[in-house]
Amino acid sequence: MDELFSLTIKFHTAFVGILLILAIINYFVLNSTLGYDALVKRVRTILPIYYAFLAAIIFTGLVLLGVAKFSINHVVILMVLVWFVIFMMTIRRYKKFKSLRSNDKRRIGRFIRFSKRKHLIDIALIIATMAIVYALKLPN
Protein backbone atom coordinates (compact mmCIF):
# COMPACT_ATOMS: atom_id res chain seq x y z
CA MET A 1 0.00 0.00 0.00
CA ASP A 2 2.84 2.37 0.73
CA GLU A 3 4.26 1.80 -2.74
CA LEU A 4 0.86 2.48 -4.34
CA PHE A 5 0.47 5.65 -2.28
CA SER A 6 3.95 6.99 -3.08
CA LEU A 7 3.65 6.18 -6.80
CA THR A 8 0.16 7.68 -7.05
CA ILE A 9 1.17 10.84 -5.22
CA LYS A 10 4.04 11.28 -7.70
CA PHE A 11 1.62 10.92 -10.61
CA HIS A 12 -0.90 13.23 -8.95
CA THR A 13 1.75 15.91 -8.39
CA ALA A 14 3.05 15.51 -11.95
CA PHE A 15 -0.45 15.87 -13.39
CA VAL A 16 -1.03 19.03 -11.34
CA GLY A 17 2.28 20.41 -12.58
CA ILE A 18 1.39 19.62 -16.18
CA LEU A 19 -2.01 21.28 -15.73
CA LEU A 20 -0.22 24.37 -14.43
CA ILE A 21 2.06 24.36 -17.48
CA LEU A 22 -0.97 23.97 -19.77
CA ALA A 23 -2.69 26.93 -18.09
CA ILE A 24 0.41 29.05 -18.59
CA ILE A 25 0.67 27.97 -22.24
CA ASN A 26 -3.02 28.75 -22.77
CA TYR A 27 -2.56 32.20 -21.27
CA PHE A 28 0.36 33.03 -23.54
CA VAL A 29 -1.42 31.61 -26.60
CA LEU A 30 -4.34 33.93 -25.90
CA ASN A 31 -1.96 36.89 -25.54
CA SER A 32 -0.55 36.37 -29.01
CA THR A 33 -2.44 38.07 -31.80
CA LEU A 34 -4.54 35.40 -33.42
CA GLY A 35 -7.10 35.41 -36.15
CA TYR A 36 -10.37 33.58 -35.66
CA ASP A 37 -9.27 30.40 -37.44
CA ALA A 38 -5.98 30.14 -35.55
CA LEU A 39 -7.75 30.80 -32.24
CA VAL A 40 -10.31 28.07 -32.91
CA LYS A 41 -7.63 25.62 -33.99
CA ARG A 42 -5.49 26.21 -30.90
CA VAL A 43 -8.41 26.08 -28.48
CA ARG A 44 -9.68 22.87 -30.07
CA THR A 45 -6.20 21.38 -29.79
CA ILE A 46 -5.47 22.33 -26.20
CA LEU A 47 -8.92 21.86 -24.66
CA PRO A 48 -9.07 18.03 -24.81
CA ILE A 49 -5.57 17.84 -23.32
CA TYR A 50 -6.67 20.17 -20.51
CA TYR A 51 -9.73 18.00 -19.81
CA ALA A 52 -7.62 14.84 -19.87
CA PHE A 53 -5.31 16.18 -17.19
CA LEU A 54 -8.25 17.40 -15.10
CA ALA A 55 -9.64 13.85 -15.30
CA ALA A 56 -6.25 12.35 -14.43
CA ILE A 57 -5.99 14.61 -11.40
CA ILE A 58 -9.39 13.62 -10.05
CA PHE A 59 -8.71 9.94 -10.77
CA THR A 60 -5.37 9.88 -8.97
CA GLY A 61 -6.90 11.93 -6.17
CA LEU A 62 -9.64 9.33 -5.74
CA VAL A 63 -7.05 6.53 -5.73
CA LEU A 64 -5.11 8.40 -3.05
CA LEU A 65 -8.29 8.94 -1.08
CA GLY A 66 -9.05 5.21 -1.26
CA VAL A 67 -5.54 4.26 -0.15
CA ALA A 68 -5.87 6.70 2.76
CA LYS A 69 -9.08 4.88 3.80
CA PHE A 70 -11.23 7.84 2.77
CA SER A 71 -9.99 10.04 5.57
CA ILE A 72 -11.05 13.52 4.56
CA ASN A 73 -9.33 16.53 6.07
CA HIS A 74 -9.20 20.24 5.23
CA VAL A 75 -6.44 19.74 2.64
CA VAL A 76 -8.51 17.18 0.71
CA ILE A 77 -11.55 19.46 0.81
CA LEU A 78 -9.43 22.37 -0.46
CA MET A 79 -8.09 20.31 -3.37
CA VAL A 80 -11.55 19.07 -4.34
CA LEU A 81 -12.96 22.61 -4.21
CA VAL A 82 -10.11 23.98 -6.33
CA TRP A 83 -10.58 21.16 -8.86
CA PHE A 84 -14.32 21.84 -8.97
CA VAL A 85 -13.83 25.60 -9.52
CA ILE A 86 -11.33 24.99 -12.32
CA PHE A 87 -13.61 22.40 -13.92
CA MET A 88 -16.69 24.65 -13.79
CA MET A 89 -14.78 27.60 -15.22
CA THR A 90 -13.46 25.37 -18.01
CA ILE A 91 -17.01 24.28 -18.84
CA ARG A 92 -18.12 27.91 -18.87
CA ARG A 93 -15.20 28.77 -21.17
CA TYR A 94 -16.21 25.97 -23.53
CA LYS A 95 -19.79 27.26 -23.67
CA LYS A 96 -18.50 30.73 -24.56
CA PHE A 97 -16.19 29.17 -27.14
CA LYS A 98 -19.05 27.30 -28.82
CA SER A 99 -20.99 30.54 -29.28
CA LEU A 100 -18.18 32.26 -31.22
CA ARG A 101 -18.70 33.32 -34.83
CA SER A 102 -15.96 34.52 -37.15
CA ASN A 103 -17.63 37.85 -37.92
CA ASP A 104 -18.48 38.76 -34.29
CA LYS A 105 -15.36 40.59 -33.12
CA ARG A 106 -17.02 41.78 -29.91
CA ARG A 107 -17.86 38.24 -28.78
CA ILE A 108 -14.37 37.02 -29.71
CA GLY A 109 -12.86 39.83 -27.61
CA ARG A 110 -15.06 38.94 -24.65
CA PHE A 111 -14.09 35.27 -24.99
CA ILE A 112 -10.38 36.12 -25.04
CA ARG A 113 -10.72 38.42 -21.99
CA PHE A 114 -12.69 35.76 -20.09
CA SER A 115 -10.19 33.06 -21.06
CA LYS A 116 -7.23 35.15 -19.93
CA ARG A 117 -8.88 35.80 -16.55
CA LYS A 118 -9.84 32.14 -16.25
CA HIS A 119 -6.29 30.95 -16.86
CA LEU A 120 -4.83 33.51 -14.47
CA ILE A 121 -7.28 32.29 -11.82
CA ASP A 122 -6.35 28.67 -12.62
CA ILE A 123 -2.66 29.47 -12.25
CA ALA A 124 -3.24 31.31 -8.97
CA LEU A 125 -5.46 28.54 -7.56
CA ILE A 126 -3.03 25.78 -8.48
CA ILE A 127 0.00 27.61 -7.08
CA ALA A 128 -1.85 28.62 -3.90
CA THR A 129 -3.15 25.10 -3.35
CA MET A 130 0.28 23.57 -3.91
CA ALA A 131 1.81 26.08 -1.50
CA ILE A 132 -0.79 25.37 1.17
CA VAL A 133 -0.50 21.60 0.77
CA TYR A 134 3.30 21.63 0.95
CA ALA A 135 3.31 24.11 3.83
CA LEU A 136 0.95 21.90 5.84
CA LYS A 137 2.68 18.64 4.94
CA LEU A 138 6.30 19.67 5.57
CA PRO A 139 6.21 19.77 9.40
CA ASN A 140 4.82 16.22 9.62
Give the torsion through C-alpha atoms of 5, 65, 90, 19, to 10 deg: -10
Q: What is the pLDDT of residue 33?
A: 67
pLDDT at 139 over 60: no
Nearest Cα to 26, choosing from 43, 51, 44, 48?
Answer: 43
- pTM over 0.75, yes/no: yes
Model confidence at 140: pLDDT above 70: no
What pLDDT digit, counting tens, does each position of 65-75 carry?
999 888 888 89
